[in-house]
Amino acid sequence: MTSSKFKNRLVTLAAVGFTANALCLPLAAQAEVSSGMSIASMYLWRGQDLSQAGPAVSGNLDYNHESGAFVGTWASSEGASGSYEWDVYAGYGKKFGDFGVSVSYNVYMYPETKSDADGDGVIDTNDGLADSDASEYMIGANWTDLNAKLYLNTENDYSYLSLDYALDKVGFHVGFTNGVDSNGDASSDANYTDFNVSYGFAEHATVTVSMASGNAVGDGGIEGDPLVVFAYAVPLK
């Protein structure tokens, strides 16, 4: 990964994002094939606005085998460093009564991210595409409506722990980012915590209020003011 801005996000995936939705699929009864689309006022990802306050359209396609194995893809019109995002993932999930576990391997791709290849300090038509792809392992567990997921970057010391709880139409989330420096080594200066509360105010429609706190907030590049996201998501199959 050559983009330092992107590196601070993954090496520093809300109600809208892939990681909050698609990876929950194996823990609940699902059809063999499922898909959906959503539009949101911004792409909220681990307490960050990846679309710079612009709207994002996303969609997913998932296959879940009765054994618990699953594979899927998710794409968004907005992603890191000005590129659209395309994710693919595969894993396994199993339920034991009210308790469930899952593991997965997730790849995040940003095909149109550019780098300053000619070294002139400006990203322009003379520059090529950057190697901005990233991947993570996910280990998850849930008990009734409480979900916990740990994401581990495959290339460095970055990790992210999310805890989510659903209560009727209200969802609560807290996430802990253990970030890294430009070398990919763990750095407390890149750590932060994000919180959000979501409310389903109409069928398929939610509003989410998110806020981040910690060393990486403010001068560290993470927005400290509250973020408000409106999203409309519909299952297609």
The domain ranges of the chain are 4-235
- Residues 103-155 have pLDDT tens digits of 999 999 888 765 554 455 544 444 444 556 899 999 999 999 999 999 999 99
Question: pLDDT-derived band of residue 218, with 50, 70 and 90 as boundaries?
Answer: confident
CA angle 190, 194, 195 (to 5 degrees): 165
pLDDT of 195 strictly over 50? yes
Q: Are 108 and 134 in contact (CB under 8 A)?
A: yes
Under 8 Å CB-to-CB from 72, ≥6 apart: which residues?
Answer: 22, 25, 60, 61, 62, 63, 88, 89, 90
Task: Tell me what the mean pLDDT of segment 204-213 comes to.
Answer: 97
226 to each of 41, 210, 215, 237, how far by Cα in Å? 14, 6, 16, 34
pTM value is: 0.81
Q: Are 139 and 148 in contact (CB under 8 A)?
A: no
Q: What is the pLDDT of residue 216?
A: 94
pLDDT of 32 strictly over 70? yes
Domain 4-235: homologous superfamily in CATH = monomeric porin ompg (2.40.160.40)
- Residues 51-86 have pLDDT tens digits of 887 899 999 999 999 999 999 999 999 876 567 899
